[in-house]
Structure 1
């Protein structure tokens, strides 16, 4: 892979992650779903949620600003992994939550997409965890 190809891939992934932050901040569910592969998933709160459950998950989540930092990305052909810092500011109280996402990405016919995104919260105690289990209830299957 040439330096130009590597740079183009990194910029495309950074733009993908910017779209994630902007669409979720704006409440644009269609835009948010578009940054994932159809088999994509999000992990937090002690569980993993497939893309089909995103509408309910997003509806139940607090609203506010998703402020993300530049991701650290490791490219490997048509796949990649990365970590991206996050500061979430709740819109009514301006209370913050901080942490980071651990991601996997895949190059698709439509460009780079998130395959998995896992949230890790950083607590005031200094602990790093994925949140309270069952913070989001989903129907029993």
Structure 2
């Protein structure tokens, strides 16, 4: 059974994840950075990037619609883990990328925030992977 506090926590985390999807879709980098803890990281392409690399990472990525599904979140006090499905639609070609995020969350003075977000792509072959290694080079961005 879920307590009222857990229900409130889940609602706040789901709103946080909605904010992630909306801000990245709209190109609002400042809003996007706000959903992370100060020491937050993003993992894809065989690498883990600190939050300081995130603006360049987003700038180098294709633009389009980040359509996310309801996350499965497991709260544990002031931290939580979760998995959220993603369907990305490229704005120019309407080509799709599908996969899911594996997340950790932390309760902060500013409310719940993403601590880590790791992307897993689902390929046409059925393989699940983190993308091509070195598809993004923060030094070259």
User: Shorter-chain TM-score: what band?
Assistant: over 0.9
Q: Which residue of 1 aligns with 2:104?
A: 104
User: How far apart are residue 2 of structure 1 and its match?
Assistant: 6.4
RMSD of aligned residue pairs (Cα, Å) = 1.3
For 2:134 and 2:83, locate their aligned partners in 1 and report how far apart those are by CA, in whole Å: 24
Aligned length: 140
Q: CA deviation at 1:138?
A: 2.1
Any runs of at least 4 consecutive aligned residues in structure 1 with deviations exceeding 6 A, and if so which?
none
Matches within 5 A, 1:46-85: 46-85=46-85
Question: 1:21 matched to which residue of 2?
Answer: 21
**How far apart in 2 are the matches of 1:55 and 1:97?**
20
Q: Separation in 2 of the partners of 1:128 and 1:46?
A: 13
- Paired residue secondary structure (1:117): strand
Q: CA deviation at 1:3?
A: 1.3
Q: Which residue of 2 aligns with 1:138?
A: 138
Determine helix, strand or coil for the equivalent of 2:70. Answer: coil
For residues 69 and 19 of structure 2, the distance between their equivalents in structure 1, rounded to whole angstroms, comes to 13
SS of residue paired to 1:106: strand
In 1: Cα distance, 2:55 partner to 2:32 partner: 10
> Which blocks of at least 5 consecutive residues in structure 2 are unaligned?
none
Partner of 2:12: 12
Task: Give the TM-score taking structure 2 as reference length.
Answer: 0.97
Shift of 1:91: 0.1
TM-score norm. by structure 1 comes to 0.97
